[in-house]
Structure 1
């Protein structure tokens, strides 16, 4: 199993594989120093000449790179060109599964209505457009082995920007017209990815969300209570992400159940473990 672009999610998947005594390789431009899991291949997905050390035994891939900068050219280089370079190098391998970590940013604004895997994709930003192009590349190159997972907003340890903004009084929330957020805990996202890497007959596309969208004002009001802070002031909805509620019925049909049913429960547990 190759974890290509092995950042936070990849390391979580690798830890689960190690606990099950299942081997995996991690691919990064700069692997961490010292002994670790997985075993590392140092390579750059954007430079195909560095992808020469891939063993012939690879039959399963998780593609989850990080662009390093919020820049259209960088996104395209990593998600589209990098995926193409890797698939070129793996040509001739008997690939059983290639899981691409995408994003719910491929959807447009649904005016607060529900969406699922069948909802039309109308990205509002360059990130969604690039990720949709990567999805289409995978579908063309790996029509049988390819699986796309569109993750919602990931929260968890090390992902505390929302907490700092709330503590600093920078959060504003719409109250007159609900604006919905769709999230998933990092541990649940990793568990989902691990299941999709190994399940026998997955669908080609899944929404990686906990299935319990939350109004932004309800979420931040609940977190303010936990922190002993006043509720955030009213303000405009976030721009560029669309107002939508995303369902996870396809995950439920797969048998996946998130540990954290929604972000309020997950973040309460997170706050309880912060000194």
Structure 2
């Protein structure tokens, strides 16, 4: 069997980690981003701009078995999100048609921001996705475009990604961050290596002939109240002073389930924030 090929459109942090995992499993990996010098060794660089209509000059000429759309917004406003997720995907699908390529599956990397549950409810792939903010609404629009693309598509709704270089919460805790204890504000996380690992797992499962659902949530095993996470980090870091007033997040409070991905055979390397943050702080990831 020849090596499977994949194009990762928007090959940034998560995409590069996915590329590295797939290269180690014998895949041929094309990575599309503006600066291909930053791609991992072994990735076939495709220098291109997802925001432009012009197909990149170095677009792959041969068949592509898989497409992973893994973009990130450059500008965090409505126009920036539309450009990255809706228009960018539209451009990539157009470039595939121009090249006569039809991958066997498209993975669209989405976000749990499509869910607006706020009372600590458990959320899975069958829960209502009724986004109110522009980020969630545009994600849903892009998801629908993927489903309507004519390519079998799977949406992967990632929760809060953390890992090396994504250490906002650690910084805040060191500065004395304090959060509301009651009512509990549930947070959902996935380590960046597990986010990439889930995508790699789904690709390998599809290649092996396993039937994929059209949606999976990417989250660890243990959604936890933010106050619990902050308290654990304080103890681990030796922080003994914190703000007098508690900060209140304005986002929803929900608990996302990874049961569907686990039923397929996936398991996170970092099952909770404890293992993940310990690995970061000890320099093991």
* TM-score normalised per structure 1: 0.93
Contact 2:124/2:257, CA 8 A, preserved across alignment: yes
Q: 1 CA distance for matches of 2:182 and 2:73?
A: 36
| 1:47 equivalent in alignment to 2:52 | yes
Aligned residues: CA RMSD: 1.7
- The residue aligned with 1:56 is 62
- The residue aligned with 2:271 is 261
1:194-249: CA deviations, max 9, x gaps?
1112213211100000131011000010000000012755524311x211011111
With over 3 angstroms needed to count, the CA separation of the structure-2 counterparts of 1:139 and 1:35, relative to structure 1, is closer
- Runs of 4+ residues deviating >6 angstroms: none
Q: CA deviation at 1:54?
A: 3.1
Q: 1 CA distance for matches of 2:120 and 2:154?
A: 27
Q: 1 CA distance for matches of 2:221 and 2:139?
A: 21
- The residue aligned with 1:199 is 205
| 1:247 equivalent in alignment to 2:257 | yes
- Which stretches in structure 2 are left out of the alignment for 5+ residues? 1-5
Contact 2:16/2:39, CA 8 A, preserved across alignment: no
What does 1:119-158 correspond to in 2, within 5 Å? Answer: 119-142=127-150, 145-158=152-165
Q: 1 CA distance for matches of 2:86 and 2:187?
A: 27
The counterpart of 2:122, out of the listed 96, 107, 114, is: 114
The counterpart of 1:212, out of the listed 212, 216, 222, is: 222
Q: 2 CA distance for matches of 1:97 and 1:135?
A: 14
- The residue aligned with 2:102 is 94
Q: 2 CA distance for matches of 1:37 and 1:157?
A: 22
Contact 2:19/2:40, CA 8 A, preserved across alignment: no
- Which stretches in structure 1 are left out of the alignment for 5+ residues? none
- The residue aligned with 2:249 is 238
What does 1:169-188 correspond to in 2, within 5 Å? Answer: 169=176, 171-188=177-194
With over 3 angstroms needed to count, the CA separation of the structure-2 counterparts of 1:59 and 1:15, relative to structure 1, is same
- The residue aligned with 1:272 is 282
User: Number of aligned pairs?
Assistant: 271
Contact 1:99/1:147, CA 8 A, preserved across alignment: yes
Contact 1:220/1:231, CA 8 A, preserved across alignment: no
